[in-house]
Amino acid sequence: MPRMNMIQALNSAMDIAMQRDEGVIILGQDVGYFGGVFRCTDGLQKKYGEQRVIDTPIAEGGIIAAAIGMSVNGLRPVAEIQFADYIYPAYDQIVSELARLRYRSAGEFSAPITVRVPSGGGIRGGQTHSQSPEALFAHVCGVKVVMPSNPYDAKGLLTAAIEDDDPVIFFEPKRLYNGPFDADPDKPAVAWTAHSKGEVPAGHYTVPMGKAEIVRAGSAVTIITYGTLVHVVQAVVESTGIDAEIIDVRSIVPLDVETLATSVCKTGRCIVAHEATEFAGFGAELVATVQRECFWQLEAPIERVAGWDTPYPHAFEWEYFPGRKRIAAALEQVMAGT
């Protein structure tokens, strides 16, 4: 099976989608001739032409609005927002239009758009190139929200998202583009070629939205996480030797409550970890749901590990990042049941 990094996997998903469906088009800033600032759309304009891979003006709101109009006219646009931190100018078009069109027209109109959004920190991007705003979309009824943590899921979920008849906000943890990341920035970079999830089928396949994945089975505690932290959590679990069950949420909306609840009800302990800021973050929803579903089985309070509730500071990136130390400390606390 071919080996791909996440950029190649995303590129392959779009390539195949465009091949299979003439209606699939790509638009965004620098996505065309240049192939995207992260090179995710590299080569696609050359292959599919300027009518289908479109460089846009720098206007996130305009990009989403145009994509909505295009989708109403039968196309299936994949829009790229250059950085998650720059999605806010499009927020009204996403919240008031994209998410609501089907409902308000009682199903007569809909906008099957995929919005690709490179997100997350760890790349020295400072406060405007590091954000993880998934909670701000999870709360908006009418859009699906996913975040893969590896090339295999990235391709499968992106394919599913493009083929889905509902709008999908597709977060790409950019720290994982080139390799898994265990939160040690000083270690030599690891490549996806050395990781089993770097094996990516060349052809078409989907990873269904709405399904979490148990990344590691265990019985002592459940760690619910997604995105970059999946790998950090794995590293912590390996190093501590605690028999944790690790769940990669993958799909934030719809949420796979069953998998989460089954696991926590089994282990009786739970940690929720994400890179986004903590307060009113998506972790709060995970905690609220899990405590409801597994209250009688819980043997310790559920702990959250998340970004501090400050902007992402440039020089203190690694003090900010919810890294191994903080996850290990939470693990210790939850295991101690205090």
Ligand X SMILES: Cc1ncc(C[n+]2csc(CCOP(=O)(O)OP(=O)(O)O)c2C)c(N)n1
Binding footprint of a copy of itself on the chain (CB under 8 A):
85, 88-89, 91-92, 95-96, 100, 103-104, 127-128, 135-136, 138-139, 141-142, 253, 255, 276-277, 279-285, 287-289, 291-292, 295, 298, 300-304, 309-311
Nearer of residues 82 and 150 to ligand X, judged by Cβ: 82
Locate 147 and state its tokens.
Answer: 């975040």
Phi, psi of 312 (to 5 degrees): -75, 110
From ligand X, other proteins, a copy of itself, none, interface partner of 265 (C-beta below 5 to 8 A by class)? none
Strand partners, 199: 3
Whichever of 116 and 326 has its CB closer to other proteins, that residue is 326
Residue 5, H or E segment: none
Q: Which of 129, 139, 204, 314 is catalytic?
A: 129
Residue 337, phi-psi category: left (phi > 0), alpha (psi -120 to 50), beta (remainder): left
Tell me the number of residues near ligand X by CB under 6 A.
5
Out of 4, 13, 15, 85, point to the residue binding other proteins (CB under 8 A).
85
- Under the binding rule (CB under 8 A), the answer on residue 110 touching other proteins is yes
Residue 9 has φ and ψ, to the nearest 5°, of: -65, -40
Question: Min. distance of Cβ 316 from a copy of itself in angstroms?
Answer: 12
Q: Which two tokens stand for residue 131?
A: 């954000």
3-state secondary structure 194-254: HCHHHECCCCCCCCCCCCCEEEECCCCEEEEECCCHHHHHHHHHHHHCCCEEEEECCEEEC
Residue nearest to ligand X (CB): 86
- Residue 309 touches other proteins, criterion: CB under 8 A: yes
Give the one residue of 80, 134, 166, 213 binding other proteins; rule: CB under 8 A: 166
Task: Find the binding residues for other proteins in span 194-223 (CB under 8 A).
Answer: 210
Q: Is 5 in the site for ligand X (CB under 6 A)?
A: no
CA atoms of 73 and 86, how far apart (whole Å): 26
29 binds ligand X per the rule CB under 6 A: yes
Residue 107 contacts by C-beta under 8 Å, 6 or more apart in sequence? Answer: none
Query: Should residue 159 be labelled a site residue for ligand X when binding is judged by CB under 6 A?
Result: no
Exactly one of 3, 42, 86, 126 binds ligand X (CB under 6 A); that residue is 86
In the complex with ligand X, which residue's Cβ is closer, 33 or 279?
Answer: 33
Q: Which is nearer to ligand X, 82 or 149 (CB)?
A: 82
Q: Which of 120, 112, 205, 126 is nearest to 171 (CA)?
A: 120
Catalytic residue status for 274: no
CA distance 59 to 250: 28
Pick the binder of ligand X from 5, 11, 45, 82 (CB under 6 A). 82
- CA separation (Å) from 27 to 45, 111, 177? 10, 15, 20
Query: Residues interacting with ligand X, by CB under 6 A?
Result: 29, 58, 82, 86, 89
List active site positions.
Answer: 129
